[in-house]
Amino acid sequence: MIDISLELANRLAAYTEEVKEGLEQSADEVTKEALEKLKATSPKHKKKYAKSWVRKKTPEGYVLHNKRYYLTHLLENGHAKRDGGRVAGIKHIGPVEEQTIQAFEEKVREYLE
């Protein structure tokens, strides 16, 4: 006689593992694309800035960050100048973030269907 609860637990465990692998693969693909977009859309005034974007794998997922520049928010949002003026922001991180979130959600939906 087959133990139904044991069989159900085994199938759920297998499905869970399959979904985890699919999510990992989707995250890997989407973050690679996002990294390329970020490098392409970053301001080119200083070429080192655009080239310094890296992708890092963490236990929770992936992180895209700039390894050389810690003040990316000032370039993204603008900042005050010494003489009281203002430097306009160059939106390059926000649009890529929105596109990446949307692409990841689409890939996950495709995978789960």
The pLDDT of residue 96: 96
Give the pLDDT confidence score for residue 1 in this predicted structure.
Answer: 55
Indicate the domain borders of the chain: 4-112
Percent of the chain with pLDDT over 90: 73
Q: Answer for the pair 65, 53: CB distance below 8 angstroms, yes or no.
A: yes
What is the tens place of the pLDDT at every residue in 53-69? Answer: 999 999 999 999 999 88
Residue 75, H or E segment: helix 72-77
**Separation between Cα atoms, residue 51 and residue 67, nearest integer Å:** 9
DSSP letter (8 states) at residue 52: T
Tens digits of residue pLDDT in 9-33:
999 999 999 999 999 999 999 999 9
What is the model's pTM?
A: 0.82
